Amino acid sequence: MGLRTAGRDLALKVLYQMDMVGDRSHDNLRTLLASMPADPRARDFALRLVQGVGADLPHLDELLGQVITNWSIGRLSRIDHNILRLGAWELLNLEDVPARVTMDEAIELAKRYGDRNSGQFVNGVLDVLAERTGLKHKGDQDLAAAKD
């Protein structure tokens, strides 16, 4: 597992735990991260993701609520909700990560931790969000150049 993939995995676990206990404090974040074994570089990436999601939580939930059709954001499982938050934040804020990579990583998290339909659901929501924000093709030229 790559460092960023491991960081995303760790970030999801931390966000989920923070939701379960209802504590998004910096102290709780540090405690949770310290309790989970990980490469320090993956832990640093997870910290960046969790802090970013935490700082933009109302905005992320508003954007996701506008994209999710025939379902309310409050009805989402905590796993799917936090995967979508991570994916949305990364899509909007990490310029060095192509949109396709962000979406693929979120889909893999959903397949690993969600239910049997989570991967498709996460794919659909993030695809619409990327389209509406004009970020669907973010980094495509970088991916094409890397293949050459």
Q: Residues 36, 40, 41, 43: is their CA dihedral positive or negative?
A: positive
Q: How many residues does the chain have?
A: 148
Task: Encode pLDDT of 121-133 as tens digits.
Answer: 999 999 999 999 9
Domains of the chain and CATH, by start: 3-147 (1.10.940.10)
How far apart, in whole angstroms, are the C-alpha atoms of residue 137 and residue 1? 25
Task: Encode pLDDT of 68-110 as tens digits.
Answer: 988 788 888 999 999 999 999 999 999 999 999 999 999 999 9
* Highest-confidence segment of 21-35, 95-109, 133-147: 95-109
Token pair listed for 87? 């994916």
Closest CA to 8 of 23, 39, 127: 39
pTM: 0.91
